[in-house]
Amino acid sequence: MRESVLRALQETRCVSGQELGEKLRISRTAVWKYVNELRRLGYQIDSSPRRGYSLTRSADLLLPEEVGAGLETRFLGKRILHHAEVTSTQDIAEELARAGAEEGLVVIAEGQTRGRGRKGRGWESPAGGGVYLSIVLRPDLIPSLLIQIPLIAGVAVVRAVRQAAPLEPALNWPNNIIIGGRKAGGVLTEMSCEIDGVNYIVLGIGVNINTPMSLIPEPTRGIATSLAAECGRHVSRVKFVQKLLSEFETLYSEFLKSGFARIREEWKSANCTLGGRVRVTDGEDEIEGEALDIDREGFLLVRKENGDVRRIITGDVTLCA
């Protein structure tokens, strides 16, 4: 009902409590209760005896009623769980996936206390302008194809950034979103699978939208950026999430129907890895060479100094100067 009250306020310049109550079939007391709840969330709602209620400023929150209002998807994000702060959206989404949550469920948080990236590394997730979300997926895939999911998600992020801000992001294999030579976001996939099939995937996406760099601790601050820092203006997080979910659903559906081939070409057109000299580190194993391509499965091909071509299945890729 809070969602219905908010939408009614968004659609009308001024509306009385009685009119709202009649439209939504609730009492004026209930209207007052939901209006005050919205005010506590950060919405500025003016009221006067003669004019009624008017919404004068929206809260910068990724509430389900905000994201869902303009979301053009078939199944992704039809159920959104919003939290002010969590340890990690991955933790919550994975617990729900284990309990049987439907494909397309999205968990969003304003901040994370223990956000994480690949290989258990921390991901700085301060409240105040980032997008931190996790999506439950249940694809009918063999596990060997799962490397393609973060690459597909990366393409979706690129598309969403282009629509939300005048920026041209790049992709660094396998999961980093780069803008202006600095990291603006990343993708994480965690899963439960059998030898011949996938039980579920939890896809995590984190992007610095309006995140003040002062909230990012050193030394991460020196290599991080945000959309707002790069384009010099505030960027709508709601619009970004709407575009991200829409673009990912489109790409994911294409992938399940037609495979990875066309999306692979789009990833390559947006990448900043191929053609350059890279250092790949995986534990104690480290190699340097030229990043040649990603193969049909999505793995990185690196040509070493001796001419041998190494197929990189996992590892951290650093662009060499």
Cα 281 to Cα 319: distance, rounded to the nearest angstrom:
12
Q: Distance between CA 63 and CA 83 in Å, rounded? A: 9
**pLDDT given at position 127:** 77
Report the C-alpha gap between 96 and 118 in whole angstroms: 21
How many Å apart are CA 194 and CA 140, to the nearest integer? 12
Q: What does the pLDDT read at residue 102?
A: 97
Token couple for 33: 């209760």
CATH of 277-319, one of 2.60.120.260, 2.30.30.100, 2.40.50.140, 3.40.309.10: 2.30.30.100
CB neighbourhood size of 240 (10 A): 23
CB 2 within 8 A of CB 38: yes
Residue 217 pLDDT: 66
Query: Which residue, among 189, 151, 190, has the nearest Cα to 171 in the 3D structure?
Result: 151
Chain mean position to CA 126: 15
Residues 209 and 235 sit within 8 Å (Cβ to Cβ):
yes
Lowest mean pLDDT among 49-58, 87-96, 303-312: 49-58
CATH 2.30.30.100 in the chain is located at 277-319
CATH 3.30.930.10 in the chain: give the residue spans: 64-270
DSSP E strand stretches across the chain: 44-48, 52-57, 80-86, 106-112, 130-137, 170-172, 176-179, 182-193, 198-208, 277-282, 285-294, 300-303, 309-312, 316-319
Residue range 107-132: mean pLDDT, rounded: 77
Confirm if 104 and 245 have CB atoms less than 8 A apart: no
Q: What integer pLDDT is reported at residue 113 of this predicted model?
A: 86
| CATH 3.30.930.10 is held by the domain 64-270 | yes
The pLDDT tens digits of the residues spanning 204-261 come to: 999 999 988 777 767 666 788 999 999 999 999 999 999 999 999 999 999 999 999 9
- Partners of 155 in the beta sheet? none
**What was the pLDDT predicted at 167?**
97
Q: What is the pLDDT of residues 246-273, one digit of tens each?
A: 999 999 999 999 999 999 999 999 999 9
| Residue 2: its H or E element | helix 2-11
Q: Whose CA is closest to 204, among 271, 296, 109? A: 109
pLDDT surpassing 90 at residue 18: no
Q: Which amino acid is at 71?
A: L
Q: Where in the chain is the domain with CATH 1.10.10.10?
A: 2-57
pLDDT at 118 over 70: no
The Cα 200–Cα 192 span in angstroms is 5
Q: Of 30-34, 35-39, 116-120, which gets the smallest average pLDDT? A: 116-120
Q: For the domain bounded by 2-57, which CATH number is listed?
A: 1.10.10.10
319 contacts 276 by C-beta, under 8 angstroms: yes
Helix/strand/coil (H, E, C) string of 142-200? CHHHCCHHHHHHHHHHHHHHHHHCCCCCEEECCCEEEECCEEEEEEEEEEEECCCCEEE
Residue 23: pLDDT band by 50, 70, 90 thresholds? confident
Q: What's the Cα-to-Cα distance from 277 to each of 49, 272, 301, rounded to whole Å? A: 68, 11, 12
